[in-house]
Structure 1
């Protein structure tokens, strides 16, 4: 009997592709090309399920044109703003993601960004690599300590809580704003703020960890940055569209903000080029989940979803 066909839209880690080819007639993408909508539809012909990434925009129009054979769409991500979930449900297609898979890795990257921004990591790297380091001086590349500083976390979900856990070890006091206050036992001494404005006012360092949504788009805008303490540091490992780039760049240029650590950007990989000219930005190319263990876990969870649906069971991680 023919095996179910699964379309894998991007090149995935070897262990993930090995499992997919072991269990399915897997249509892989060894060249890691980005599918156009028409190419994606052609590749999905006769497939039973799709394992997609955030690069594939599953719009209502595309869903209406998908072959009737598609029973499940499993995304290699936690975020799912690239999928019209309602349109999929209307067609009877199960949509699922990989919640919690990248919590630890992303929290670690947030701390890397904080440290890199606070301790002028980019400038230090450039000084060494360009041969401009001529020896120790007492005033060379002075950064700021964490001890006694206030970390404001916008979005206290899994990743926000993991960031808080790590930050406590550096002596940071934790404040947060979330849609709902955490139970007292989960706060671990963190101070809840009912409004983002209140959080901003006490954030010597602001870490953005909330999901992207129409409500959070450009949430860090002119008014928000004005409420931050002078010399604050901004860190973003969530989504680039939550920051109003021109405003953040202006604040970094004038000195209103000390530094920024950014792993995500609006329109990435085509980020605003003004960031590149700023010495007080510590920039990474969307590395939040980029560890072997995390990417394998994401792929296995995505396949777990497909396994269940094609076997007639509920997906373990449905949307």
Structure 2
């Protein structure tokens, strides 16, 4: 009898075909809509493995409903949507998809930085709304990127990939991380500094660290007050790292110059969110890894993690190490 796997979002057929010979596959058939909670709870009752998205909260309620569950494969680098400690206690392996989205997310981070600094979204709207009637010396002027100082908070794979791009723009690179990365410093000419120094000295502050309760609202009123009035905050990590009310006030009161946000505390973000009313904020719908090739690679890695774990047939990108794994 084949093991059952449940997939919480419709994935490309090329990914599913590689699972079909070994498993009974049940899959939510919508691409743009998250699986309803009641459907998820029903499907996991008989599942040996689930392939999840960040949109699914895999908490105690789900784990209680899934007595046969052995593997949770998250199609993301982050896994704050999963109660990993509880899964570990129950002997359930949790896997993720690091590596495959590093360069694509770094591309998006730098694109967001550039769009925010040079006011590209605002300028496009200016043209489309028929406001472009003449040239003037200070019309839609932004901040220079070349030669500026970038401060990277979180110097893992993606942080270092962003630093490589910054090097090409002749930027001074500061970073803060829980541990120093000596080899990366030498490769990119990056300088390690404490958290407050990075905030104070950077023209661009990029948040690229994993989310955990310890970094909830890491950037709040006090941290924003340390930044330059001409500084730009870029967040392509997780929304919960930033106190959004404090950021709104800082931007509204011109305590910092602008922000570029790919992530929010609540996603999808409400259309009446105050940050969406400000002209000096560029907002995106969490598209950091959204290239066609990368999303297919992520789906394939998530499927491979699930298959290899359940069949003990190959490597798995493990988040935890429960007994028996």
| Bin of the TM-score, shorter chain as denominator length | over 0.9
Q: Which residue of structure 2 aligns with residue 81 of structure 1?
A: 80
- Residues 81-230 of structure 1 aligned to structure 2 (within 5 Å): 81-187=80-186, 188-193=188-193, 195-230=194-229
Distance 2:28 2:37 in 1: 15
- Residue 14 of structure 1: how far off its partner (Å): 4.2
Matched, 1:294 2:287: no
Size of the aligned set, in residue pairs, is: 316
- Residue 144 of structure 1: how far off its partner (Å): 1.6
Is the 2:46–2:66 Cα contact (8 Å) retained in structure 1?
no
- Residue 241 of structure 1: how far off its partner (Å): 0.9
- Residue 43 of structure 1: how far off its partner (Å): 1.1
Is the 1:37–1:62 Cα contact (8 Å) retained in structure 2?
no
Residues 264-306 of structure 1 show CA distances to partners (whole Å, capped at 9, x for unaligned) of 0111112462122111111111110101111111111111111
Distance 2:12 2:292 in 1: 8
Distance 1:204 1:85 in 2: 36
Distance 1:186 1:254 in 2: 36
Distance 1:58 1:231 in 2: 41
Is the 1:153–1:177 Cα contact (8 Å) retained in structure 2?
yes
Residues 45-93 of structure 1 show CA distances to partners (whole Å, capped at 9, x for unaligned) of 332211111111111232122132x221101111011111222222222
SS in structure 1 at match of 2:88? helix
Q: Which residue of structure 2 aligns with residue 40 of structure 1?
A: 40
Distance 1:21 1:275 in 2: 45
When residues 285 and 155 of structure 1 are mapped into structure 2, their CA distance, relative to the original with a 3 A threshold, is same
Distance 2:185 2:65 in 1: 45
Matched, 1:270 2:276: no
Distance 1:270 1:145 in 2: 30
When residues 315 and 94 of structure 1 are mapped into structure 2, their CA distance, relative to the original with a 3 A threshold, is farther
- Residue 128 of structure 1: how far off its partner (Å): 1.7
RMSD over aligned Cα atoms: 1.8
Is the 1:122–1:281 Cα contact (8 Å) retained in structure 2?
no
SS in structure 2 at match of 1:261? strand
Residues 239-261 of structure 1 show CA distances to partners (whole Å, capped at 9, x for unaligned) of 01111111111111122211111
Distance 2:13 2:299 in 1: 10
SS in structure 1 at match of 2:98? coil
SS in structure 2 at match of 1:127? helix
When residues 183 and 307 of structure 1 are mapped into structure 2, their CA distance, relative to the original with a 3 A threshold, is same
- Residue 17 of structure 1: how far off its partner (Å): 3.5
Q: Which residue of structure 2 aligns with residue 284 of structure 1?
A: 284
SS in structure 2 at match of 1:44? helix
TM-score (norm 2): 0.92
Is the 2:230–2:257 Cα contact (8 Å) retained in structure 1?
yes
SS in structure 2 at match of 1:215? helix
